[in-house]
Structure 1
Amino acid sequence: MENNKQHQLVNPAALFNPEPYGFSHSISVQSPFQMCFISGQSGGVGENHVLADDFKTQVQDALKNLNIILQSHSMTFENVVKITLLIVDHNPEKLEIWAEEAKKVWNPTFLPTSTLIPVSQLALPGMLFEIDAIAVKS
């Protein structure tokens, strides 16, 4: 964690080290309320960023990684106000899988705003899904 008067960088030890790649997993900004800007989280697990072969498992693992970061900021999925989804070779079946998994972590009466961007590939070979988020806590 690095701190200054305006923001705090948080890179949980349970996730891979992003510094060699030129980014941080999240930045928390203090004002009258706390805002947390979270980098895209994929389905990679652990320091070696091991990816499952299937889309559903990658979505589940990405949501676990997102939760690790939210907890690092003393937040939950309820604090998330905006997400961006990147899906490789997007199709209706993948959207259905995403919706099923999202319903497990978000209250269906208070869902975050969302943008879905179909892409041909992501940062690492084998990545099928990525989610970034903005969370707010008063």
Structure 2
Amino acid sequence: MESNTQPTLINPAELFNPGPYGFSHSISIESPSQMCFISGQSGGVGENHELADDFKTQVQDALKNLKIVLKSHDMTFENIVKITLLIVDHNQEKLEIWADEAKKVWHHSFLPTSTLIPVSQLALPGMLFEIDAIAVKN
């Protein structure tokens, strides 16, 4: 059986079009496992893709967006093997908020590897949180 090693770009219709900004929401590679590389997801899941003002809502919204991308690859949070978190003005309170929200989506014993990077700002004014991921499915 020959596997497809060509990357497949998947940009779910429920999310904004990232093309004008020079990236894709995700890329999938099957060889022999399917690997999915997911761009940073942030808040703004509403009809107008507006960012919430508070950190907790932005984390929840980013996880909703991540779930949309995973679903477009027929994957779930259980398929994620690596995440990178970008947090504006990181502090202990924000870390606790992240940990509480993460427990809601990774409620099992297999947790992804993780890197947290404190930053002074992200791509858009008011953006406080971003998460990217690598997911694998056999």
Quickly name the TM-score band, shorter chain normalised.
over 0.9
- Paired with 1:111 and 1:96, the residues of 2 have a C-alpha distance of 17
* Percent identity of equivalent pairs: 84
Gaps of 5+ in 2: none
Tell me whether 99-108 or 19-28 shows the greater mean CA deviation. Answer: 99-108
- Paired with 1:47 and 1:17, the residues of 2 have a C-alpha distance of 14
User: Does the CA contact (< 8 Å) of 1:83 and 1:133 recur in 2?
Assistant: yes
Q: Which runs of 4+ in 1 moved over 6 A?
A: none
Are 2:45 and 1:45 equivalent residues in the alignment? yes
| Partner in structure 1 of residue 113 of structure 2 | 113
| Partner in structure 1 of residue 14 of structure 2 | 14
Gaps of 5+ in 1: none
Question: TM-score, normalising length from structure 1?
Answer: 0.94
The Cα of 1:5 is off from its aligned counterpart by 5.6
| Partner in structure 2 of residue 123 of structure 1 | 123
Tell me whether 63-72 or 101-110 shows the greater mean CA deviation. Answer: 101-110
User: Does the CA contact (< 8 Å) of 1:44 and 1:51 recur in 2?
Assistant: yes
The Cα of 1:46 is off from its aligned counterpart by 4.6
Deviations 1:93-129 (A, max 9, x none): 0000000000000034111000000000000000000
The Cα of 1:45 is off from its aligned counterpart by 1.9
- Paired with 2:11 and 2:24, the residues of 1 have a C-alpha distance of 6
- Paired with 1:129 and 1:82, the residues of 2 have a C-alpha distance of 17
Give matches, 1:73-112, under 5 Å.
73-112=73-112
User: Does the CA contact (< 8 Å) of 1:15 and 1:47 recur in 2?
Assistant: no
Question: TM-score, normalising length from structure 2?
Answer: 0.94
| Partner in structure 2 of residue 63 of structure 1 | 63
How many residues are aligned here?
A: 135
The Cα of 1:41 is off from its aligned counterpart by 0.2
User: Does the CA contact (< 8 Å) of 1:14 and 1:47 recur in 2?
Assistant: no
The Cα of 1:48 is off from its aligned counterpart by 4.0
The Cα of 1:12 is off from its aligned counterpart by 0.4
User: Does the CA contact (< 8 Å) of 1:14 and 1:46 recur in 2?
Assistant: no
The Cα of 1:7 is off from its aligned counterpart by 1.4
